[in-house]
Every structure is written in C-alpha cells, then in structure tokens.
Amino acid sequence: MKRVAKCSLFIVPVFCLLSLCFGGSSAYANEKTRAIVVEEHDDDYCIVQVDSDYYIVRENWGDLDEGDVLVGNIKGTGNKELYNESRDEKVRVYVQGRYDSKRECIRWLKKYDHYDD
C-alpha cells in the first residue's frame, strides 16, 4: 500500500505538469481581443487595428465595413473565426499578417494590387 501511495505522489504531479506544458489550450490561443476595421478595400481586404498594431485581413465569410468591432483571437496569421460585434454575427477571415503602421499595410495592399483609393 505504501508503494502505491509513493508512486501516486510522483505520477500525479508529473501528469499535471505535462498537461500544463502540452495541453491543447494556452493563454495566447484563447486570448480575446477587440479590433476595429479602419479601412476596407477591394478584393475583400481590410486593415484592422488592435491596440497599436495593424493587421491585414481578407474576408472569407461574412461582411466587414469600416468601424466594425471584431472580437476574438486575431493575433497570428491564418484562418480565424471572429465575432462582429457591430453586426451581431460571426465572420471568418484570413489574417495575412501584423504590421507596425497603417502605412505599411497600405504599402502591402498596393504591392499586391488590393488597394483602391
């Protein structure tokens, strides 16, 4: 019986540590942010601002307009499902990348012919 008790004193903390290190969720993955659509361009591309960062996103499903407030994990790149608080609906977007300024976003949009004046 003592052997089982000693073994469980070792196994339980190790299991807890492993689940914290390799678990499917993390604080970053579940981070919810509020973003504002600051510009809308052709080909479903938008510039979105989160705090002092800017992101270029492409609408996959749903509609975004200037001034819309998005809630969800927009940080990082790739496909994301966000909540459009302004329209009370979910939207799916592809996050192209993060930029330090709106000017950098516009430069990227112009380079790939997604910018309309």
pLDDT in tens, the chain (117 residues): 556 555 455 554 544 444 444 443 334 446 789 999 999 987 799 999 999 999 999 999 999 999 999 999 999 999 999 999 999 999 999 999 999 999 999 999 999 998 877
Q: Tell me whether residue 106 is in a domain.
A: yes
Q: Does residue 72 lie in a domain region?
A: yes
Q: Please say whether the beta carbons of 93 and 80 come within 8 A.
A: yes
Residue 24 maps to a domain: no
Answer yes or no: is 2 within a domain.
no
The per-residue DSSP string of 27-68 comes to TTTT--EEEEEEEE-GGGEEEEEETTEEEEEEEEES---TT-
**Cα dihedral: 17, 22, 24, 29 (round 10):** 100
Q: How far apart are CA 93 and CA 116, in angstroms?
A: 20
User: Is 5 domain-assigned?
Assistant: no
pLDDT for the residue numbered 34: 93
- The CATH number of residue 39's host domain is 2.40.50
How buried is 99 (Cβ within 10 angstroms: 0-12 exposed, 13-18 middle, 19+ buried)?
middle
- Domain span including residue 91: 33-111
Q: Of 96, 107, 52, whose CA–CA distance to 74 is shortest?
A: 96
- Are the CB atoms for 34 and 23 separated by under 8 Å? no
Give domain status of residue 68, yes or no. Answer: yes
pTM of the model: 0.72
Q: Supply the pLDDT for residue 32.
A: 84
Q: Of 66, 69, 45, which Cα lies nearest the Cα of 56? A: 45
Residue 23 in domain: no
Number of domains into which the chain is organized: 1
